[in-house]
């Protein structure tokens, strides 16, 4: 029912009816199909009077309103609609019905295309934004890698044109660090320093040498730890940039898939609109008044009028009945029960 109601609204829309009015010039006065017009030919020609733009718009609106009132749409089943038009003549009704079907098909296809075009415009804008985002993130990631050449990257992984590489995880980065070896050396130096201090004073040459090596080793450990922390931060930032790039590419691919579905939907809807067909064209029977019948009817009306006037005059002339009491009183000199004026009564008495 909803689908049928939607189709009714499309058929009775201003878009369809205005096209019908424009194609058939229904804004002009149409020929009359009355019996008198068919007999005399008066009013049978279409009006070709010129109109100002304002008058034309008013006539067009009036024609659209009248056309909407004369169209009857009734559902036959879930897929079939019956369209009827009541016009001045069967020929005009057939033209209007045929034109309505044609304009409805075009309007239905146009509405489907407009819907698809709107979706394509939104998707096109979205694709442009995503493409710009992908390019921007690729540029940022490549610039970040160029600014940090010491960044440890997993170059076994294949990236776009060998320029973007994913960073190694922190555990794998730690495997390349000399910090564990330095920590072990630090322990050995502390043990040796403790042994020397147990037998020699702190100002001895061997104790000072071990203390200097211990301080240098501690300085290296601190530097390497700081470097590892910075390296880990760089790796995390690199991972963040790479994740944003991957996310943008994924959304771009999803938008492309949606654009493909929109194109497929456009083809399907175009095919649906092409399936709209007319099961039965409007038919009518032309009933014309023959010339002999026309002349006979005109002559009969004319002669009948003359004969009627003659019979009326004859009946009035041959009528001997009295219709007024005053006439009867005057002719018979006998008062008749009637309401007469005092002047008329005095005249009767004077006669008598």
DSSP 154-221: -TTS--GGGT--PBPPHHHHHHT-SHHHHHHHHHHHHHHHHHHHHHS-TTSHHHHHHHHHHHHHHHHH
Query: Any residues with CB less than 8 A from the CB of 45 and at least 6 apart, and which?
Result: 31
Q: Are residues 257 and 182 in the same domain?
A: yes
Q: Per residue of the chain (352 residues), what is the pLDDT tens digit? A: 677 788 888 888 888 888 888 888 777 766 555 555 555 555 555 555 666 778 778 888 888 888 888 888 887 776 777 788 877 777 788 888 888 888 888 888 888 778 778 877 887 888 888 888 878 877 877 777 777 776 656 554 444 444 454 444 444 444 556 666 767 777 777 777 777 777 777 777 777 777 788 787 777 777 777 777 677 777 777 777 777 778 888 888 888 887 777 777 767 666 665 556 555 565 555 555 445 666 777 788 888 889 988 888 887 777 666 556 666 666 767 666 555 566 666 676 676 5
Per-residue pLDDT, 274: 58
Flag whether 284 is in a domain.
Answer: no
Q: Are residues 62 and 158 in the same domain?
A: no
- Domain boundary (84, 107, 124) is at 124
Q: Are residues 83 and 207 in the same domain?
A: no
Flag whether 282 is in a domain.
Answer: no
Q: Are residues 134 and 221 in the same domain?
A: yes
- In the DSSP assignment, the letter for residue 289 is P
Flag whether 178 is in a domain.
Answer: yes
Tell me how far apart the 2 most distant CA atoms of the chain are, in Å: 192
Bridge partners (DSSP) listed for residue 121: none
pTM, full prediction: 0.46
User: What is the phi/psi pair of residue 76, to 5°?
Assistant: -90, -45
CA 254 from chain centre, in angstroms, equals 25
Per-residue pLDDT, 340: 58
Flag whether 71 is in a domain.
Answer: yes
- Domain boundary (101, 124, 147) is at 124
Q: Are residues 266 and 136 in the same domain?
A: yes
Q: Are residues 80 and 191 in the same domain?
A: no
Q: Are residues 6 and 78 in the same domain?
A: yes
Per-residue pLDDT, 281: 60
Q: Which of 115, 87, 111, 89 is nearest to 13 (CA)?
A: 111
Q: Residue 190: which domain range? A: 125-272
Q: Are residues 18 and 106 in the same domain?
A: yes
Q: Which of 312, 316, 315, 314 is nearest to 304 (CA)?
A: 312
Q: What's the total number of domains in the chain?
A: 3
Q: Are residues 70 and 105 in the same domain?
A: yes
Flag whether 184 is in a domain.
Answer: yes
Flag whether 277 is in a domain.
Answer: no
């Amino acid at each position: 029912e909803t689908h049928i109601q939607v189709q009714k609204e499309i058929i009775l829309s201003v878009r369809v009816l205005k096209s019908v009015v424009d194609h058939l010039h229904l804004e002009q006065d149409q020929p009359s199909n009355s019996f008198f017009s068919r007999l005399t030919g008066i009013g049978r020609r279409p009006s070709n009077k010129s109109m100002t733009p304002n008058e034309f718009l008013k006539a067009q609106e009036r024609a659209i309103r009248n056309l909407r009132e004369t169209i009857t749409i009734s559902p036959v089943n879930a897929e079939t609609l019956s369209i009827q038009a009541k016009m001045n003549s069967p020929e005009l009704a057939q033209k209007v019905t045929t034109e309505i079907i044609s304009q409805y098909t075009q309007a239905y296809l146009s509405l489907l295309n407009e819907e698809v075009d709107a979706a394509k415009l939104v998707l096109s804008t979205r694709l442009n934004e995503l493409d710009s985002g992908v390019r921007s993130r690729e540029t940022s990631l490549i610039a970040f890698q160029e600014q940090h050449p010491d960044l440890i990257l997993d170059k076994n992984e294949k990236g776009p044109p060998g320029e973007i590489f994913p960073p190694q995880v922190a555990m794998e980065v730690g495997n390349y660090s000399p910090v564990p070896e330095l920590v072990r050396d630090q322990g050995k130096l502390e043990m040796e320093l403790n042994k020397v201090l147990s037998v020699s004073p702190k100002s001895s040459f061997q104790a000072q040498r071990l203390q200097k090596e211990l301080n240098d080793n501690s300085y290296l450990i601190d530097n390497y730890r700081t470097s590892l922390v910075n390296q880990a931060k760089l790796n995390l930032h690199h991972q963040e940039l790479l994740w944003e790039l991957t996310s943008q590419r994924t959304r771009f691919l999803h938008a492309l898939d949606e654009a493909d579905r929109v194109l497929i939907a456009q083809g399907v809807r175009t095919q649906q609109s092409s399936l709209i067909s007319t099961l039965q064209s409007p038919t009518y029977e032309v009933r014309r008044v023959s010339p002999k019948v026309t002349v006979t009817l005109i002559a009969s009306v004319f002669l009948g009028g003359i004969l009627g006037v003659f019979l009326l005059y004859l009946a009035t002339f041959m009528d001997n009945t009295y219709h007024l009491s005053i006439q009867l009183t005057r002719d018979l000199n006998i008062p008749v029960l009637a309401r007469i004026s005092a002047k008329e009564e005095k005249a009767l008495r004077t006669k008598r």
